[in-house]
Amino acid sequence: MSAPPPEHSLAIIRTVNASAADIYAAWIDLPRMARWLGKVTADVRVGGRYHFESPAEGGKTYVYTGEYLAIEDGRRVKQSFLAGDPDPNTPNPYTDEFIEIRLKPIDAHRTEFTFTNGWNGESMNDEFRDAIIAAWSEWLDRMEASLVAQKEA
């Protein structure tokens, strides 16, 4: 049984110059995750929880938490997603938020990478949506840079 589609989503599709296995490992292997995410604590299994602390400009740290919802070896990872520490006094306008990656090998060294962020609740105006896409793109750029660095090591 599959979950209903989210009310809102955005997707980023890229061709990444890495194998699907290497990209998959960058999302599930703790030492590899730490190379591009920052401080990582994760129980990588369906139902397992994660906590990422990513450094940002100006000495800030962004915190992300959630649960692994689906893991398909070498092809897909889906996680619930919460940015920041929840404030019990402020309702979150975004519910059931998730991030998901899907990997489709093109050849041994290139992969079609689809990143999806979905949620229910409030929609985003174009300016905020563009900012979210830019932020996710920066995150994915860091992942790709970590894959290049690993190849060169």
pLDDT tens profile 72-97: 999 999 999 998 766 777 777 888 99
Say yes or no to pLDDT of 1 above 70. no
Mean pLDDT for the chain overall: 92
Indicate if the pLDDT at residue 11 is higher than 70. yes
Domains of the chain from N-terminus onward:
8-152 (3.30.530.20)
* Average pLDDT for 113-129: 92
So what's the pLDDT on residue 153? Answer: 72
Q: What is the pLDDT of residue 86?
A: 65
- Residue 127 CA to residue 113 CA, distance in Å, equals 24
Nearest of 101, 52, 41 to residue 72 by alpha carbon: 101
**11-20, 27-36, 46-55, 82-91: least confidently modelled range:** 82-91
HSE of 32 in the Cβ direction (CA atoms, 13 Å)?
19
122, pLDDT greater than 90? no
Mean pLDDT value of segment 67-73: 97
Q: Compute and round to an integer the Cα radius of gyration of the chain.
A: 15
